[in-house]
Amino acid sequence: MDALSEILRVVHLIGAIFIQARFTAPWCYQSPRADTVAPMLEPGAERVVIFHLITEGMCYVEMDDQPPTHLIAGDVVVFPRGDAHRMSSELNLQPARGSPLQEVLSRRPRMLAYGGGGPTTRIVCGYLACDARLAHMLLGGLPSLVHVNLRGSNAGAWLETSVRYALNEARSPRPGGEGVLAKLAEVLFIEVLRLYMNERSDDRTGWLASLSDPIVGAALNALHKRPAYPWSLDELANAASTSRSVLAVRFHTLVGSTPMQYLTQWRMLLAANLLSRSNATLARIAEDVGYQTDTAFSRAFHREYGVPPATWRRRQTVREHTIR
């Protein structure tokens, strides 16, 4: 399994499409920071990532201190850091004053329709909620706005058609419509990440950019394929078909840590996933993530999470029961 597939297997994504909008020019919509709406979108979520899919027409997206981005049908924009932004039919418009967010989000997917009666733009708005540490690893190094066009990919037409179908199903009396939308939100997000990875640029850094690098990508795939193996830098360099010095410099430049530091972080994320989703003993989890004793594992986990693994597991159980 490649590194992206492996981390997506571990990342607990909760997706939803919460707004289907039909705007007619002129119009302007202000979206607040994701952390301000997170409690209303997904109570208890550590991290919420907002995205918009343009299904018809065109518009602009603006963020403070950045040039505007022109969007057309098939475009998807993702805000990895949850920045506030404006979307509009033309630049320099004032945002409309709408209903309170609690009212807008009280029903999903919410239908929004307003504007001046001119050309139509249709937008589907969704979000992904996930663990903060895993989000940091997966999304670290991404720009504040990720912009791709689905219609250039093999999956694009299928995704757009599926989203439209699921939106209609969500308003029908048949059960399961919102569940289909939730899964499509996850698939859409993953396809955006894959498209972004294919748009290579020499100045990109971060985990996703690293996967496209022939040296660092090979090292990451090796670590994710065998996380419990007692890797040395020499063995990892051999797996990446390079020297240890080249690997060390290239890895740190792109990922921001040494290979062994990254391996420890990934092992701890795997351990946290097992602690929260299984009843496995600490000794078994320690062995599964590459530690010979549960004592050594507990020390490493405490350094990363600030508490022993048993304490962390109890807190997660209490937290999940509270959210429910």
pLDDT at 8: 84
Q: Which residue has the higher pLDDT, 118 or 160?
A: 118
Residues 53 and 156: beta-carbon distance below 8 Å: no
CATH topology of domain 213-324: Arc Repressor Mutant, subunit A (1.10.10)
Residue with tokens 């939106």: 167
Instruction: Give the C-alpha distances (Å, rounded to integers) separating 189 from 74, 75, 196, 277.
Output: 14, 12, 11, 23
State the pLDDT confidence band at 107, using cuts at 50, 70 and 90.
low
Instruction: Count Cβ atoms below 10 Å from residue 32 Cβ, excluding itself.
Output: 13
Distance, CA of 218 to CA of 319 (rounded, Å): 37
pLDDT of 321 strictly over 60: no
% the chain with pLDDT above 70: 92
Question: Which pTM was predicted?
Answer: 0.87
Q: In terms of CATH, what superfamily is 3-198?
A: Regulatory protein AraC (2.60.120.280)
SS (H, E, C) 285-313: HHHHCCCCCHHHHHHHHHHHHCCCHHHHH
pLDDT of 117 strictly over 90: yes
In single-letter form, the type of residue at position 192 comes to: V
Q: Which residues contact 260 (CB under 8 A, 6 or more apart)?
A: 231, 233
| H or E segment and range at residue 17 | strand 14-24
Tell me which residue of 135, 6, 148 sits closest to 80, measured CA to CA.
135
CA 246, chain centre distance (Å): 30
Residue with tokens 């937008």: 123
- Residue ranges covered by each domain of the chain: 3-198, 213-324
Distance, CA of 53 to CA of 74 (rounded, Å): 7
Q: What are the φ/ψ torsions at residue 199 (nearest 5 degrees)?
A: -85, 80
**Where is average pLDDT lowest: 35-49, 68-82, 272-286?**
35-49
pLDDT at 7: 86
- Strands 28-31 and 110-115, sheet pairing: unpaired
19-68 tens-digit pLDDT: 889 999 999 999 989 888 888 888 878 889 999 999 999 999 999 888 99
Q: What are the φ/ψ torsions at residue 120 (nearest 5 degrees)?
A: -90, 140
Distance, CA of 232 to CA of 246 (rounded, Å): 15
pLDDT at 201: 67
Distance, CA of 258 to CA of 252 (rounded, Å): 5
Q: How far apart are the first and last CA of the chain?
A: 33
202-244 tens-digit pLDDT: 678 889 889 989 999 999 999 999 999 999 999 999 999 999 9
Greatest Cα-to-Cα distance within the chain, rounded to the nearest angstrom:
68
Span 246-262, mean pLDDT? 95
Judge residue 244's burial from the number of C-beta atoms within 10 Å of its C-beta, 0-12 exposed, 13-18 middle, 19 or more buried.
Answer: middle
pLDDT of 309 strictly over 90: yes
155-169 tens-digit pLDDT: 777 888 888 877 777
In single-letter form, the type of residue at position 125 comes to: C
Q: Which residues contact 101 (CB under 8 A, 6 or more apart)?
A: 32, 37, 40
Q: What are the φ/ψ torsions at residue 208 (nearest 5 degrees)?
A: -65, -40
pLDDT of 171 strictly over 90: no
3-class SS at 147?
Answer: strand
